[in-house]
Amino acid sequence: MLAYLPKNFSSAKTPPTIEVEVFDGDVDPSPASLDKVEIYVPTYMGSAGVYEIIHDMPNLRYIQLLTAGVDKVTPFMREGLTICNARGVHDLGTAEHTLGLILASMRGIVETVRAGNSGWSTRRIRPTLFNSAVTIVGAGSIGREIGRLIEALGGKVSFVSRSGSNGTVAFGEADELFRSADLVVAVVPLTNETKSMFDASFFSKIKDGALFVNVARGEVVDQDTMIESLRSGRFNAALDVVTPEPLPAESELWTMKNVIITPHVGGATKSFFYKGISLIEENLSRFAQGQEPLNVIHGDY
């Protein structure tokens, strides 16, 4: 059984029945063994070509993603192909980054840094997570970890999901939560159902002075509508994801004083590599033994 692993994860321990070739799909030439590979771990944060090459792998049986989101690979789904995501690998890293975005915005850290030696002029009473009403849209493992960190700082967390199951409120029934929230965090997967779910109707409900944070995918937001809503200055946004990526230099978002942006790096931490290798090793062992792997994606999840 042949597996392709990206260079950064090629130190993973593999069963003797699995042969490994190192392949970073966005920088390496296509291997001669494309017709033999059965397991493929695409390069993390790779280009579109990392996924398009799947078309040239006729005997591929398993794709082990290093991302929690599966939107980039689902167009290549076919009969006999199993896709596994990296659920659990990015939880803490993304939650830490989310907390950083929240504090940088709420506490005026970016504003103060931009002010340089005039930073003392930015001193004033700032919002705090303590006693804040926080609505997290997306109740998967990352959303729950974000909620745990916010609650540790005294925030009052409510969870919203598409279905309203497992102690959450359904997105279509969450208007009052959105109207009362000091902070709304988007951390839903990108699917046909979640694309542009944060639209004009949603942004009309955000209260003055609130903060909207997106650590999901840029496409879950109607970005033109968000920009139009942000022009009023009545609420703030902290964005780790946008559309497109990289965000063009001429985008109005760059110049908005009530917006901070990071370049889709929420999960890019050292802990990700340790956890990613552990997941690869576990699932390679399961593949070799014919067992059900971890994190299998069913349908549109």
Q: CA torsion sign, 210 to 129 to 97 to 152?
A: negative
Q: Map residue 121 onto helix, strand or coil.
A: helix
**Straight-line distance from the first to the last Cα atom of the chain, in angstroms, rounded to the nearest whole number:** 28
Active site (annotated) includes residue 264: yes
Query: Which residue stretches of the chain are H helix?
Result: 49-52, 91-106, 109-115, 141-152, 175-180, 200-205, 223-230, 270-289
**Helices (H) and strands (E) in the chain — how many of each?**
8, 12
CA 39-41-297 angle, 5° bins: 80
Instruction: Say if CB 180 and CB 132 are below 8 A apart.
Output: no
Among residues 216, 210, 205, the alpha carbon closest in space to that of 237 is found at: 210
Please tell me the distance from the alpha carbon of residue 96 to that of residue 146, in angstroms, as a whole number: 8
Q: In what order do the strands lie in the sheet with 62-64?
A: 19-22, 2-5, 37-40, 62-64, 82-84
Q: Which residue in 55, 97, 264, 298 is the catalytic one?
A: 264
**Which residues are marked as active site?**
264
